Amino acid sequence: MEIRKVGVLGCGLMGSGIAQVCATAGLDVMVREVTEELCARGFAGIDKSLAKFAEKGTITSEQQREIRGRLRGTTNLEDLADCDLIIEAIIENLETKRETYKELDARCKPETIFASNTSSLSITEMLTATSPDRQKRFIGLHFFNPVPLMKLVEVVRTILTDESVYEQAVEFGRQLGKVPVRADDRSGFIVNRLLVPYLLDAIRALEEGVGSIVDIDNAMKLGCGYPMGPLTLLDFVGLDTTYYIAEIMFTEFRERRFAPPPLLKRMVSAGLYGRKSGRGFYDYSDAKNPTPMNL
């Protein structure tokens, strides 16, 4: 089956980005949100992103219009019934995802492939909400933020995934202009399996007085060539998001390296989520010149 029409569940930061790259690749895209307001907000973000690409000359004004013309929004799950592939990018709540997949399973054609953009939850636990035939056509497609710019996509296989479906998903990643990497359905996949312990160790180093916020960041930028330090990256990703992912990974592996440090828990409890809340390891009152917090 050729993938011509893609459904995207969720029009937030990740969903809108996924929708944009699919439409840019020449595919018809139907984006579903729970309210028209959220849908409109997501499409406004897509319009802004496409305008920036046009201004930079990455795409022409004509291409901008063509891409936008391939995107449609809805609040009705029924409108995704004829999609060849559905990519879910909704709230990271397993039961919410399972209920959504159960509803979609009853509506979509048998050939439709289901995919989740989750970064940490079990794909296998999601697919059990669908019929046995659908379970063979269920994968993970983990994109990275910002989706239109980041070249990587993790293509995740479960123990039930049909081999031909999996290979088609890998090829789909290439079709979008991404570099697909193959991963098995284990919490964190490849990137978070390696990244999360590194970030958590940076927090532990700060807790233990190994270095200051600025010194830890500069050490990893200048000593290892990273584009940003680990504490700056934590603010970018979101401390609440990192805490949630770490909890899931610690529950699965029961290894200390995945356990959220006490400082991270206290910061999340205090609402210090990073850039999204204006404060994290840095204070972003002056967005161009963030200053380290006194933690």
Residue-wise pLDDT tens digits, 186-237? 999 999 999 999 999 999 999 999 999 999 999 999 999 999 999 999 999 9
| pLDDT for residue 287 is more than 90 | no
Q: How far is CA 281 from CA 10, 104, 271, in A?
A: 29, 41, 12
Q: How many residues does the chain have?
A: 295
pLDDT band at residue 35 under the 50/70/90 scheme: very high
So what's the pLDDT on residue 265? 97
Domains located in the chain, CATH noted? 5-184 (3.40.50.720), 191-282 (1.10.1040.10)
Instruction: Provide the annotated active-site residues.
Output: 119, 142, 154, 192
So what's the pLDDT on residue 129? 97
Mean pLDDT of the chain: 97
So what's the pLDDT on residue 269? 98
So what's the pLDDT on residue 1? 78
So what's the pLDDT on residue 246? 96
So what's the pLDDT on residue 241? 93
User: Which residues are within 8 A (CB) of 142 and not within 5 positions of it... i.e. 6 or more apart?
Assistant: 117, 118, 119, 153, 154, 156, 183, 189, 191
Q: How far is CA 235 from CA 57, 124, 190, 226, 244, in A?
A: 31, 30, 21, 15, 14
Q: Which amino acid is at 59?
A: I
- pTM reported for the whole predicted model: 0.93
pLDDT band at residue 131 under the 50/70/90 scheme: very high
80-114 confidence digits (pLDDT tens): 999 999 999 999 999 999 999 999 999 999 999 99
